[in-house]
Every structure is written in structure tokens, then in C-alpha cells.
Chains A and B, each alone.
Chain A
Amino acid sequence: MPGNPQLDANGELQHLLSIEGLPRELILKILDTAESFAGVTERDIKKVPLLRGKSVFNLFFEGSTRTRTTFEIAAKRLSADVINLNVAVSSTAKGESLLDTVANLSAMQADIFVVRHGSSGAAHLVARHVKPHEHVINAGDGRHAHPTQGLLDLYTIRHYKKDFSGLTVAIVGDVLHSRVARSLIHGLTTLGAPEVRVIGPQTLIPAGAAALGVRVFHSMREGLRGADVVVMLRLQNERMTGALLPSAQEFNKHYGLTAEKLALAKPDAIVMHPGPMNRGVEIDSAVADGPRSVILPQVTFGIAVRMAVMSMVAGGG
């Protein structure tokens, strides 16, 4: 197996493709850097010149509003030029391949490619084919990874819980299809969270999940007991009925987060969700908008985390 493709010869971040394989120190450095940027986002003039003159291409082969927007804001606050390409409706519709699209943009002098693609491994493929001065940030590839989301989740947890050494984190719902869950699990196990749980029906928990270092629960009540952090995953509409689940209602009854179920977690437990939420399916409004919810701060932290990642890959040391 080749070496870690996201680190350069000095062990610095060349690309951000996955949290898996990032050393603990590097993850902490990203979180610390993000913390230093959090101040910037609260100032009147929300700009630093770290990426002045650099071009960031947002390459979204799959629809997204929130992630693309926060990447755009983060890049602009670093003074970069941002080009948004909604590739889902442009070149690929004309049959252009992923690598051809990247090669064409590369000819337009890109520094950072922010790539979202529906197929696992797409960001790795792009990273293998870009020029040495170009950097790839994975903004979500299939079911595989969504590392900036994972990092902002880690940032959020650290912000509210200070440290990971005593934490029980419960991740609930469609783990099978979730790149958010995979990224967060790798981050939590690397940072030493002692108990990471995944909760869901057998149809939504992947084979060999325990090998990721998690405890598998099929009962939400058991899984939530004593949790410090509850992370609800989005259930895609197309998965609500069929062979994986009979109905959104039955899913909500057993795995939806209600105030009553949340009471089983620790009294100071926080509730997270990567968005967009399906209210009344995986999470009730009373919880989503309640005092334990940190769902909106997650979005704010996401900007600082993405600034940190972009400045670290392309900020010139």
C-alpha cells in the first residue's frame, strides 16, 4: 500500500482527503488553527490575507448548498479568489470525465480544488492526478469521507466538552451511507475518545462496523444512556421506504431523537446534526431548537475549520 497520500514529505498537509490516517498532532493543529480564525469571523472586517492571489475552485459534482457556501465564505475570508462550478449540470452532463474536468481547471491556474463527488474515492483519484502545487480538499466523496465536516464536529465537541478523554459519543441513524459518521469516528478514535457508539437498525449499520473501533447498538435507549454527545445523522429521503426501512414514521419512533429519549443521555449532553435536518424524522423540533442543540454553532465553526484547512494546505507555510 502506498504512503498516506494526503501528507507531504515533511508530514504536512498536502491535501485533505480523509481524517483516517491523520496523526493526532495534525488534527489538533487544525483545530487550534481554526480556533485562531474563530476570532476573525467575529470581527467587523472579516478578512486575513493568507491566500491573497490564490484561486479556489469549488467543484461540486453533487448538489450542496451549505458545504459549498461555507467553503466559499472561508476562502473569501482568507482573501482567495473563489470560482464555483456546479459540475453536476455542466460538463459532466456533456460526458466529460472527472479527470478531464480537473485537467481543464488546472490549466486555468488553480491552487485548491474543493471536490464533492457521489463516488467514494473520487477525491483520492483527483489528488493522484493534480500538479504538485495544487491541493485537493475533499468536501464529501460517496459514503467514504467528509473530513471538514468531521473536523468541525470535533471542533464543536472540544468547544463544549474541552477534552476527549472521558467522552461517550453516540452517533445515530444511517451509518451505512454516512461519510459524516465515518469521518467523525476516525477523528474521535484518533483523539482518544474512550467510547464511540453507533446506533441504528441492522439495515443501516455496515458490515464489520466494530472494526472501526465503535460499539454497535440497535436499541437507541441503551445506546444513548450516559452519552455526552449525541450526533444525529441525516436520513436521505430515498432511503425512508424500501428494503432498508419500512417508513419514516417507524424510523422516527425507534431512532428519532425526542426530548424523552434525550433524557437518557447525560444532563449536559449536546446534540449535533450535520444538516440539512429532517424534522420529525431523525430529530424532533423541540430537540433541534432546544437548549442542548449546538447545530447552528456547528455551521459557524465550520467556516473557521475550513479556513484552517485551506490555509494549512496552501498558505505557504
Chain B
Amino acid sequence: MKLLVKGGRVVDPASGRDAVGDVFIADGKIAAAPGTPDRTLDAKGLVVAPGLVDLAARLREPGYEHKATLESEMDAAVAGGVTSLACPPDTDPPLDEPGLVDMLRRRAKALSRARVYPVGALTVKLAGRQLTEMAELAEAGCAAFSQGNAAVEDTQVLWRALQYAATFGLPVWLRPEDAWLARGGVAHDGEVATRLGLAGIPAFAETIALAAIFELVRATGARVHLCRISSAAGVALLRRAKHDGLPITCDVGIHHVHLSDMDLGYFDAQCRLEPPLRSQRDREALAAGLADGTIDCAVSDHAPVDEDAKHLPFAEAEPGATGLELLLPLTLKWGMERKLTLAQTLARISSAPARILGAASGRLEPGAPGDLVLFDPQASWRVTPEALKSQGKNSPFLGMELAGRVRATVVAGQVVYEA
């Protein structure tokens, strides 16, 4: 199968290339010399970019099929232009055994849509006590190890987990949050939570955890990626640590770049997220940190939640927002607001996360995986339950118009989505 994508505005964030041209894919990979194509996609007026790479997308299988299924969420991924995604281990049972990982990979492969990179559980049942068989899990295909949103309360276990992962050179992805300080909290501990009478999670729940992780990275040499940073103080700590040469990377949830606790309004459960939306000052620091490279990449933090679980008083509602189909438009919106080039903007959701994942995708040079997204950056669409392929219709952006429509998605030279 040879595919020619013709006449689009080709944007390659890895090389900075941004020019009208063609992209040719042969044998599932980007090819240099054009041959005779089996199929041609007309990309006139569209941006042609590497397929998006999302480091946090919950597919809800196994265990939570009432919220979403692999089929529905893989459809959502390609409809959102996401061609590679890492799924956190917070399924039921969690991804703590090689058999589960193997099954997930097989099921995903059989659907032949986006590439799925399972993230294995760092501890058995995510309970934070016993280490998983990380080496085995890595052989089964785990790209990294994490706790999802569960904590490792016992810092000795965290220390040992990082030592063990470092032994095998395995990456560990951690969400920095002190479990004790966050206990019971549902909103940023500030004026809004005080006014609404919601239990708060202070920003120092994040900075204290960050400080602990930084020390453990220094002690163990583990490769740590930080997930979902949420506070201005956290960004400042991260900037200093990177300046000191600590080998860490970091992502931010795309919702947190646009929303703050003010958006909770009158208890809007769609804005119940983990970590919580913080103040406008925090949001500004996250948007700026993502622009200046302190934060390496943005993720959808896709969490499909069924309607009943959101139709509850704020504190009882299940946290999370659907995100796979919003990642591109929300990142484009952020890039416009920060006055970045399209290549710079797209780097945060393609080349940068691909590098963290250790995947060859996220760029358009010959030999790279033939994964593409074709989108119209001007075309706007309204976020409605009907417009979303994801089974999760839970979004703070419901009813809003967003610019950036995916017209086609290509994985390994196969057109897996067209609109």
C-alpha cells in the first residue's frame, strides 16, 4: 500500500518544516522518493502533520466498559487525529500483570486504528505497597510505569520503586500530589472553594510531592516523567530543577491550560478534574510554561465518564473529562493565544510526547512511521454529545465552538478516519 498525500501545508514540528508539498508513505513508513501511489488524498487547504501522540488516554478496558470501550475510544482517538496513545494502568483490574497488557495490546491491534502504548502499574493493584514485575511487564509491551491517579503514600516504597525501575532503565511516570494533603479535597484550595464550601487541595500538595520526587530522582537516577502539573509554584520548581540539569520531563492536561477554578461556576461537575483546576494565575503559568518548554507536552488526560456519574453534587461526581477529540483544537487555541507558529504548537502534541514515549513517530522524515493527521485549522465545530465519538460526553467545553477539524487520519499508511 502506497499513499500520496498531495498539495497540503506540510508541517513537521521536529524539523520546523512548514511548506506546501506532498507526503508519500510506502510500507507503512514515510518515504523520500515518490513512487506510484495506490491511493491519493487531496490535502489542498489542509494542514498535514504527524499524527498526534497523547500520553494519557483512558480506554476504560478492562473493567469499565459501561464508561467506554476500546472500540468507542479508538474511534475517538483517530477522529481527534491521535495516532499514538499511552493508556494509564487505572483499569479494573489494573495493568499489573503481563497477561492483561498482552490482551490489551492484541485487542487494540485487531482494531487497527491508533497505536496503543500501555503504561504498566508501578505497584500491584496500584495499592502503593508491592512492586509489580516491571521487567516482565516491559517485555509484554509496557512503555512506562505509573500509578495513574493513585498515590504511593509510603515514600519508602516510592524510593524502592524508582531504584528498581532505574535498574532496568524503565521510565516512571508520576503525578505529583501528596496524598495526605490532597485527602478529601475536590477543588483548588482558594477563594472559589471557600465560597462554594468545597474541600480544598492546596497547591503545596503538588510542590511538596515535586520536591520529594526531585530528591528521589537525584538519589536513584530514575527516568521520571511528571504528569499533569497544575500550579504556578509547581512550574517554578520544575523550571529550577530543569535548570539544575535534572533529567525530568513533564506534561500538562490541555484543560488546565484553558480553565481555572472560576469555571466551576455554580458547581459545574464537568469541571471536576484531577488534579483540580486551580486559580487564573496558575492557569497562566501553565500556559506560559508549556510555551517556554518548562512543560514538555500537553495531554488530553482523556477520561470518559458516564452521565450518571456526573449528575451528582460536585464532590460526589466522578472526576475527569473526555479529551481525545479536543486535544487538537484546544492546543491550536493555546498556540494562537501564545502567538506560536503552527510547528511550535503541534510539537507539544506530536514530536515532544513521542520523544518522551520513546516512539519513532511524531515526525515526517523518511523512515518515520507513516502516521498523519490532515486538518483544517480554520474550520470550527460545536462540541456536542453527538459530535463526539467517545462514549464519554463529559466536557467543560460542551456547547462551545472550537476551531480545528480533523479531515483524515492515517496510521502506518492506512487511512483510518475520514470526515
Contacts and interface: CB of A to CB of B under 8 A. Distances in A.
A5 B267 CA distance: 11
A53 B199 CA distance: 41
Interface string B260-272: 0011011101000
B373 to A, nearest CB: 34
B194 A97 contact: no
Given A119-B314, A119-B316, A125-B267, A143 B198 contact: yes
A120 B198 CA distance: 6
A207 B194 CA distance: 6
Interface of A: 1-2, 5, 20, 97-99, 117, 119-122, 124-125, 129, 141-145, 179, 182, 206-209, 211-212
Interface string B185-199: 000011101111111
Closest 8 CB pairs of A and B: A121-B267, A144-B197, A143-B197, A119-B313, A208-B191, A211-B191, A120-B197, A206-B194
26 contacts: A1-B263, A1-B266, A20-B195, A97-B311, A98-B312, A119-B313, A121-B198, A121-B267, A121-B315, A124-B266, A125-B267, A125-B312, A129-B311, A142-B198, A143-B197, A143-B199, A144-B196, A144-B197, A182-B195, A206-B193, A206-B200, A207-B194, A208-B191, A211-B194, A211-B195, A212-B195
A120 B313 contact: yes
Nearest to B308: A97
Given A141-B313, A207-B189, A121 B195 contact: no
B379 to A, nearest CB: 28
Contacts of B200: 206-207
Interface in B132-180: none
Contact of B197 (A5, A125, A179): A179
Contacts of A121: 196, 198, 266-267, 313-315
Contacts of B196: 120-121, 144
Contacts, number: 80
Contacts of A97: 308, 311-312
Interface residues of B, number: 25
B202 interface: yes
B267 A120 contact: yes
B266 A208 contact: no
Contacts of A2: 265-266
A207 B266 contact: no
A256 B127 CA distance: 43
A120 B314 contact: yes
Contacts of B193: 206-208
Given A120-B267, A143-B197, 13 more contacts: A1-B263, A119-B314, A119-B316, A121-B196, A121-B315, A122-B313, A129-B311, A141-B197, A143-B199, A144-B198, A206-B194, A207-B202, A211-B194
A312 B106 CA distance: 63
A145 B194 CA distance: 11
Interface centre among B197, B200, B263, B312 (most CB of A within 10 A): B197
